Structure 1
Amino acid sequence: MELLLLFYKLIVWGYTAFDYISSEQREGSWFVLSSLIYFCLSLFASIVRNVRWKKGAALCSVVLVILSSVYVEPLFVLLLPFNGYELASFYIPRLWGIWAALLVPVVWLDPSAGKLYGFVALFSFVSVTAVKRHIERMEQQEDRLDQMRHDLHRLTRRISEYHQYIKQSEYTLQLEERNRLSQRIHDQIGHSLAGALIQMEAAKRLMDGDRDKAKQLLENAIHISKEGMEQIRMTLKQIKPPLEQIGLNRVKLFIEEFSAQHHLPVPLVCKGDLDVITPIQWKVIYENIAEALTNAVKYAEATAIAVEIHVLNRIIKVEVKDNGKGAAKIKKGLGIIGMEERAASVHGTVIVDGTNGFSVTTLLPIHE
């Protein structure tokens, strides 16, 4: 605002200086001195931040303009509206009241100078009002931006609390699963093994006296032990998830966390029989997807990223594609070289394309 006012003052002062130069009979030293003092005060008012110093500079400028218009150049009074606005704005809250106060000097001016002064006063009022409205809108935008920062901070804190809650829930579920497993082993498998042990102890005591009875007890113990082993096998089978679910869930979890952290949509599409993917291949797939997503955020400036895992007849195709700026000439850094080395360790390959966005395709063979 201060710089715009200074620019407007310079325009009006230029008109005053032109009129003064046109009058050849006048001394120029006082005009130059008054102009220098005036602009020094204006620059001081635009630089200083203390309100008292601003008021003092505005008051000195008004006094200087009045004295210069009386003793040096009458048209110096045209600068009074701008400086009067600066001074009156500290005491009069309404803009119309300030403009009315700026029109007071018209009473003491001749008609021609009064018209010119009124025009300059109107110009200063309109221009300064527009600048002030612009500053108010900027302040409102700053307030909205601060509110958005506050909301973002609050949402980030809630997301952090949500992740802590998820971790705590996972830990609680693990404890509950351990407790359930322990209880099941105790109630079913423990009882079966205890029964078999009792049968074998009894057979041992009857071995010398009643061999037929001892044989029957041993057969019962063997039967009970087989049932216990079968229960152990079924329990472990129910607890242990399939390998393909472990790999796929790990990939899904990483993509969900990545999408939430970077505020990017990252859809995952899976096609074909995922059972054929081995654990070591899932490890390569996971690490290559993580590297490709990280590179897309760091270098591609993408707003959306898609991940596809497609199991074909002979190969496993894993593609990470974004809508970023791409690259006409691809320079392989440590990230791409690392992906190629991981794929090569399981006899696979990596294809990188930067013509339409940026895509990283990992091709792995299916082991029969």
Structure 2
Amino acid sequence: MEEKSTNKNQYEITGVTAQLFYLMQLFNCLVIMFFTLVTAHAMHGFILEGNAFHLITKCHATIVYWKIPVVAGILYISLLFLLSIECTNHIELIVKLWLEIMIGAGIFYYTGLSYTVMVLLILADIVRNRIDWGKKIVYIVLLSCVDLVLNGNVLSRYISPVSVSQIWNYYRSDVAAVFSGAVNIMFLIDVFIFILYMVFLILEQMSEKERIAALYRELSIANEKLAEANKQLEEYTEELVSAAETRERNRFAQEIHDTLGHALTGIVTGIEACIMLMDIAPDATKDQLKAIEEVARQGITDVRQSVKALRPDALERLKLEDALLKIIDETMRSTGITINYNCTTPLLDFSQYEEDAIYRIVQESVTNAIRHGKADVIDIDIGREDGFLNIKIKDNGIGCGKVYKGFGLHHMQERLSLLNGSLKYDGSHGFTIEASIPIRWGNSVEEKED
């Protein structure tokens, strides 16, 4: 609010300064018109009375009377044109200043009007240019010297302007006094306008300096805030990088645990079965060993795939439900246990992260049931209810009185947390795991179910 008020005041001061400069130009035009017309009228009167010789000898008037206002008007228009030009460097300003001095001297010579009138106008033009004050002072001193030389008749032997006081003797003394008084008043008004112009110009420059200072202060504050924000951003970036590295390490460990854990569990259980069957049913043992070999090879493939892309190989080649059926079939063949799979909803339109989570939850639950629970029957139920996909995996193993969240359960919880899901488990009668994941695929499932 304060900055807007400052800008508004500055614009108002700038507008007043410009108006005063134009007022000086207009007022000087009126002064020149009045002065030259009165002079030309007096000269014409002398001529009509047959006193042309008096004009030449006493008044030093060798100019045709009607030429005085015409030439003065042309010169003043030229001066106004120069005043309208804004200079951007020292060379332009010095050329423009000398042209203005010469035009002012021409007006002084043809009209006899005091050169100070033109000096004030040229001074106003000098100070409004945006150059340093050191050069402005030099120009002001130069202009003042020219004014002293011309008004002091120092060059009277070379330059003889029209003697206005002698020409105005044509009028009665009282009329001439009125004309002289009017010119003096006009001169004082011109000086007064010039003083006002300088006052408002100084106020404008002070206001501009204050605005620049305010902008500098705001810029300094903004730089400090920016530096602080950059520092916070760097700290936050370091935290994000550290968190990303931690998540990636955890995910990698989780993938390796799930892949190797499932494969090794199947191999160990299958080998135990082979030891029991070796003497009783050699042929069944061979079939069991072949199934173990397939599980081992698939485990190697999954490990390689996990290292490469951290995604199960089965999900790269198959749809989610086909991948689940494949892992269930391989587990039953290699271990000899029974797995009952029941899915009442299509497993379609899941994202990669959701598919990975569902697959790993089933894989890890089956692995834990075999490794820790010593189960021989596992029930897997997948269904949809109230906008959630529910996965329930129950086994008939030994269970446990108090559940300690190990590596597998911990990683299940992490996967579900990333999907805003939940995990429940119970070890009182065998072991039961219930996972719930928010459904993200809209109404497509309902349409497919219908």
TM-score class, shorter-chain normalisation, is 0.3 to 0.5
Whose RCO is larger (CA < 8 A, sep 6+)?
A: 2
Q: Give TM-score scaled by structure 1 length.
A: 0.46
Structure with higher Rg: it is 2
